[in-house]
Amino acid sequence: MITETITPGSHRDFPIQCWTQSGIRAVYAQGDTLSAGIYRTTTDPVAAPIGTASATWYTDPIPGTTTPRQTGYDEGQVVGTILSADSAKLVRLMTVYLRLFRTMAADPSETEEIATVQLKVQ
């Protein structure tokens, strides 16, 4: 698990490389969708998030264009984002978790957690 710090009221992006449990770089499907939230725990699979976050595929545009050199999903690379309005609700010295999820295009009833970032609030 990755550990990062965040200051209440700050905007933070967390680029993440996802891996399978066997240590191979994850590869996802183009139509898979991402979601994220801020949670108090990593152990309760049905816990409600205590804050809002977003998740997107990491893209790297070709210089001078908006055409991506890579698309993120085929590389297993995502970016979790917490906006300043959402981090402003966090309490100093608190530990929370940014949890990122993927819903599979092939089976929308299947959602899995793909990354977790432990956040220490400064």
What domains appear along the chain, each with residue ranges and CATH number? 2-42+49-121 (2.60.40)
Concatenated DSSP letters of the chain: -EEEEE-TT--EEEEEE-B-TTSPBP---TT-EEEEEEES-SS-TTPPPSEE-EEEE--EEPTTSSSEEE-STTTTEEEEEE-HHHHTTSPTT-EEEEEEEEE-SS-TT-EEEEEEEEEEE-
Q: Whole-prediction pTM value?
A: 0.91
Per-residue pLDDT band for 31 (boundaries 50, 70, 90) equals very high
pLDDT of 68 over the 80 cut: no
**Predicted pLDDT at 45:** 67
